[in-house]
Amino acid sequence: MGSIEHSADPRVWTSPDSDALHEACGVIGLYAPGEEAARLTFFGLYSLQHRGQESAGIAAADGRRVAVHTDMGLVSQVFAEADLRRLPGYLAIGHTRYSTTGSTRVVNAQPIRVECELGALALGHNGNLTNTQALRAELAERDIRPYGSTDSELIALLCALDPAPTWRERILNVLPRLQGAFSLVLLTGDTLFAARDPLGIRPLCLGRLDGRGWVVASESCALDTVGAQFIREVSPAELLTINAEGVRSDRLPSEGRRALCTFEHIYFARPDSRIDGRLVYQVRQRMGAILAREHPADADMVMPVPDAATPAAVGYAKASGIPYEEGLVKNRYIGRTFIQPSQKLRSGSVALKFNPLPEVLAGKRVVLVDDSIVRGTTTPRVIELLRKAGAREVHMRITSPPMKFACYLGVDTAETEQLIAHRLSVPEICRAIGADSLGYLSLEGLIEAIGLPEAMLCNACFHGRYPLPVEPDADKLALERAASQRRLAATTGGTTRVAPALVPLTDLLPADR
């Protein structure tokens, strides 16, 4: 949460504030004989829009050809009826993006498409690799210059360059070389693939569609939208191959450890999704109830910062006996637009997103529940809104521990030094945000609410103990600076062509449109 930022694409401005956590992406893939897979994917992406709002795209296949359409903006802005008609076939993958590697440009929109002697491969990626520089150097040694600047494209290129005779074998060869977080959907002319990293950092699930087809998605809410039945989670270190022969499961090398990102439960996932067999809504309610136990308040009402904190505020209210009220109304259509606001509106971005209810707040002692404080730039403005609307006291309660360390595994956070909890103690943060009191959920309380052993969770942003080696000096634009300065002025997704495996290229061929 913070001031409105311009994206790297001059047509798009970002309304979700800079102090907010932003997920990497949402992915979905369908094998749906007899169906218009792209159309189903389009509606499935709506369910995953919360996971990324910078760009969106769909790749579809009809048994032979792979067609792709991507562009900047929300799903509703990227696709029209005519676009879906140009994506025929019974297989499709979809992607909605928030960048963690590579800038906000259409060249980095996904699915990414590459070509080699086996044909075309399209890929969508949720996560973040931690060995991108080594992978980029390997491609550079072979004179391969990526089309864009994402770690996702490196995965696709490595698959295209592998010498194995089939796509499945190539993918199985490449995935063990990847370090970091990845939930992947991949598409060839006749096969859908889905893979999850050995630690299971980002979620991915499998569903059955009308007894004939299959769906994989970042969250189970997308299965509900397309009418699929939830079957199971894709296991960490698993590759699924889905085609006319059925579903085949291959295991990747793994140490057997787990490290699901706890922020999936705290903030990212939709409350109606199930992750590790747990309904996210109920997990968030338990967070609020435990927070009430750990940090009680003498107050007249409990209210959330909408929307992610709403279940937790309900839980806090029930556990504390303090009435639940809604004191802020969120404008859900202030998200992403091609119309840039005036400087006055940009500087007042909190007022763009929230309207307080003075008749509800006047004279009240308020418990304000939110999921996190990142940089600490927006929370003071929200508290100020409540005070101007008449709130007598504001007691801030946060459903996560203090965030002290940056994430390198698929979440776009501020750098460690910019995180307010890295620099200030809890009493100092309380004074900085202008609250009457401040309480964070303890790590023990968070683990209790989720109901999984700590050894199965990634809590690195709270204590700095990452589940695998990271590149702390790397940032999301590192590949951008390393990439070739030759950029194509693209307005739709492109294709990177690579020569037959082991034959280096001196340049890229123009992208097909």
Torsion 122-22-272-278 (CA) sign: positive
Q: Lowest-pLDDT range, 24-28, 325-329, 355-359? A: 24-28
Per-residue pLDDT at 490 exceeds 80: no
How far is the C-alpha of 45 from the C-alpha of 22, rounded, in Å? 17
Please give the average per-residue pLDDT across 47-71, as a whole number. 95
Of 86-95, 149-158, 331-340, 469-478, minimum mean pLDDT range: 331-340
For residue range 413-430, what is the model confidence (pLDDT) as tens digits? 778 999 999 999 999 999
CB 74 within 8 A of CB 336: yes
Could you tell me the two tokens for 245? Answer: 């022969």
pLDDT confidence band for 161 (50 / 70 / 90): very high
* Residue 15, CB-side half-sphere exposure with 13 Å CA sphere: 23
Lowest mean pLDDT, pick from 38-47, 276-285, 363-372, 476-485: 476-485
pLDDT at 503: 30
CA distance 472 to 494: 31
Q: Which CATH number fits domain 5-259+481-497: 3.60.20.10, 3.90.1010.10, 2.40.110.10, 3.30.530.20?
A: 3.60.20.10
The predicted pLDDT at position 150 comes to 87
Judged against a pLDDT cut of 50, whether residue 444 lies above it is answered with yes
How much is the average pLDDT of 248-266?
95
List b or e across 135-154, with b for residues whose CB sees 16 or more CB atoms inside 10 angstroms.
Answer: bbebbeeeebbbbbbbbbbb
Q: Average pLDDT for residues 356-372, to the nearest whole number?
A: 98
Q: Is 144 helix (H, G, I), strand (E, B) or coil?
A: coil
pLDDT at 471: 75
Q: Does residue 167 register a pLDDT over 90?
A: yes
Q: Would residue 25 show up in a list of annotated catalytic residues for this protein?
A: yes
Instruction: Give one DSSP letter per residue of 413-469, joined into a string.
Output: PPPGGG-HHHHS-HHHHHHHHT-SEEEEPPHHHHHHHHTS-GGGEE-HHHH---SS-
In 3D space, the residue among 390, 389, 415 whose CA is nearest the CA of residue 404 turns out to be 415
Which residue is catalytic, options 25, 205, 261, 458? 25
What mean pLDDT do residues 69-83 have? Answer: 94
Model pLDDT, residue 138: 93
Model confidence, pTM: 0.87
- Percentage with pLDDT > 70 across the chain: 83
Q: What is the architecture, at CATH level 2, of domain 271-458?
A: 3-Layer(aba) Sandwich (3.40)
Instruction: Say what the pLDDT of residue 436 is.
Output: 98
In the chain, where the domains are located: 5-259+481-497, 271-458
Cβ pair 101, 476 in contact under 8 A: yes
Identify the band that residue 441 occupies on the pLDDT scale cut at 50, 70 and 90. very high
Residue 53: predicted pLDDT: 87
**What is d(CA 87, CA 68) in angstroms, rounded to the nearest whole number?**
7
Res 146: pLDDT? 86
Give me the residue label for tokens 């109606």.
272
How far apart are the C-alpha atoms of 195 and 252, rounded to whole Å? 9
Reference 284, options 486, 475, 451, 404; nearest CA is 451
pLDDT band at 411 (very low <50, low <70, confident <90, very high): confident
How are beta strands 437-440 and 393-398 bridged, if at all?
parallel
The whole-number pLDDT of residue 513 equals 23
List the one residue out of 161, 164, 173 whose CA is nearest residue 250: 173
pLDDT at 507: 29
